[in-house]
Structure 1
Amino acid sequence: MNNNGNTVVVYFSRTGENYAVGKTTVGSTAKVAAEIMQQTGSMGVEIVPVEPYPDAYDQAVAQATEERRNHARPAFVLDGDTAALDTAEMVFLGYPIWWSDMPMPVYTFLESRDWTGRTIVPFCTHEGSGLAGTEETLARVTGARVCDGLELRGELAQHDAASVKQAIETWLKAIV
């Protein structure tokens, strides 16, 4: 895929103790994002919550559950090439699936931008939920055109880079 400066990869990922994969220093979604950046030649932007999630899985779950229950919109900062984000026509958007939904910082990000004329290409990591209907949620929240997404198990993203690479190659050929 030839980027031509019109695409960017934006993602939210969590490190620390994770379900089914143990302790991570690079989040599952971040690993998938890096491979998409490699294959598309796109720049990357990470959504980083101002209040980090705890490293311990149970504590992170408690914080995320409270945020979801309260429909919180946690503050975030963007780390990476934000100029690419401002000009990109196509945004690859990555996130883990938490309780069959996107994490609340992703909603904060989505609601903070004008998506007019843009295309969102979702990708997610999960442990059994797939995309969980988030393609429809993205279209509703942003009004943007949303392409068919890619879903990969976090365990695969953490432990089988060759399979992730192949899955992304196949997916990109299908959506371009």
Structure 2
Amino acid sequence: MLSNNAVVVYFSRTGENYSVGEIEVGNTAKVAQVIASRIGAPTVEIVPVEPYPNVYDEAVAQATQERSAGARPAFTLVAGDGADNPAAMLDSAETIYLGYPIWRSDMPMPVYTFLESRDWSGKTIAPFCTHEGSGLADTVASIRRVVVGATVLDGMELRGAVAQNDVDATVRAVDGWLG
């Protein structure tokens, strides 16, 4: 699965989170950082233009409303480690490791906006998610429907509480997935 030309792209949320309380680094961001360190790839974060509320129940209400409406919230891409031009990083990458939390058995709507905004022809996408019981849900199939021309690999799922609180278990899960 490794590619010498890869980038780790992820959406993650801080603030009050289910089962882990108030956090400063999102669950999915923690997994993305482990993947990036294991494969030596840069990271790019999908950041919604309108941030989600810090309070968990308010964030859930907003996410539920967006999903019901089929919303496609605007986003920006932020490259990690001070790199610039994340769009160019994506254009040149052969493999994109795509991370997201599972919200109400689906990807957050900004991830759909991101996926629908690019040409994925010839790319390989390796999805990974954090969740608290849903696993990957049907997100791999959803990604396959959206990214025409790309190869979508089987995904990795990890409970958010594990990603947030158990670095060793997160590294083992990532290493097992990466092979």
In the alignment, the residues of structure 1 paired with residue 125 and residue 77 of structure 2 have an alpha-carbon distance, to the nearest angstrom, of 17
- Percent of paired sites with the same residue: 64
Q: Structure 1 runs of 4+ off > 3 angstroms?
A: none
CA distance in 1, matches of 2:49, 2:35: 25
* Preserved contact between residue 50 and residue 76 of structure 1 (Cα < 8 Å): yes
CA distance in 2, matches of 1:109, 1:163: 29
Deviation at 1:71, TM superposition (A): 0.4
**Matches of 1:115 and 1:139, distance apart in 2:** 11
Matches of 1:98 and 1:155 in 2, distance apart? 15
C-alpha displacement of 1:3: 4.5
Over residues 55-100 of structure 1, what are the superposed CA-to-partner deviations in whole Å (9 max), with x where a residue is unaligned? Answer: 1001111111111111000000000051221110110000000111
| Aligned residue-pair number | 172
TM-score by length of 1: 0.95
Distance 1:44 1:51 in 2: 21
Find the aligned partners of 2:2 and 2:9 in 1 and give their Cα distance: 18
SS of match in other structure, 2:141: helix
2:175 is matched with 169
Query: Which residue of the other structure, out of 99, 104, 108, is the alignment partner of 2:109?
Result: 104
**Amino acid paired to 1:44:** T
Q: Is the 1:3–1:42 contact (alpha carbons within 8 Å) kept by the matching residues of 2?
A: no
* Cα distance in 2, alignment partners of residues 76 and 62 from structure 1: 19
> Equivalents in 1 of 2:145, 2:67: separation in Å?
18
Confirm or deny that 1:153 pairs with 2:153.
no
Counterpart residue number, 2:42: 43
d(CA) in 2 for partners of 1:106, 1:2: 23
CA RMSD of aligned residues (A): 1.1
Q: Out of 126, 131, 138, which is 1:133 matched to? A: 138
Distance 2:155 2:33 in 1: 16
> In the alignment, is the contact (CA less than 8 A) between 1:49 and 1:77 conserved in 2?
yes
Unaligned runs of 5+ in 2: none
Residue of structure 2 in register with 1:9 after alignment: 8
Residue identity matched to 1:132: A
Q: Retained in 1: the 8 A contact 2:6–2:41?
A: yes
SS of 1:129's equivalent in the other structure is coil
Q: Which one-letter code corresponds to 1:137 in the other structure?
A: S
Contact map agreement 2:102 2:131 (CA 8 A) in 1: yes
In structure 1, how many angstroms separate the alpha carbons of the residues matched to 2:2 and 2:147?
25
Shift of the alpha carbon at 1:22? 0.5
